[in-house]
Amino acid sequence: MAPQVEQQRIPEVAAEADILREQLDYLISHSNGNAQCGCSECRRYGRVRAALLEIFIEPPRSKVQEMAPRLARAA
């Protein structure tokens, strides 16, 4: 009688959003616990934070004198 071979189970693929949330939670908890120790994980947190908050950064304000010639050309 031939021995029975157990088939390997392939784990289900995790949702990408779940993976991203898990990684972000890990980075937040690491950086809070170590108060930005400067390790590679803290630097990674800084890069991720900057990318996620980029939309909220206001562009540098131009001086009125610098804007006047551009506005005149646009009109």
Give me the amino acid identity at 72.
A
pLDDT tens digits, one per residue of 22-64 = 999 999 898 887 666 888 888 898 899 999 999 888 776 666 6
For 13-21, what is the mean pLDDT?
Answer: 90
Give me the amino acid identity at 62.
S
Name 34's Cβ contacts closer than 8 Å, sequence gap at least 6. 42
By the 10 Å C-beta count (0-12 exposed, 13-18 middle, 19+ buried), 46 is classed as: middle
For 17-21, what is the mean pLDDT?
Answer: 93
Rounded to whole angstroms, the Cα distance separating 42 from 21 reads 17
User: Per-residue pLDDT for 67 more than 70?
Assistant: no
For 54-75, what is the mean pLDDT?
Answer: 70
pLDDT value of residue 51: 92
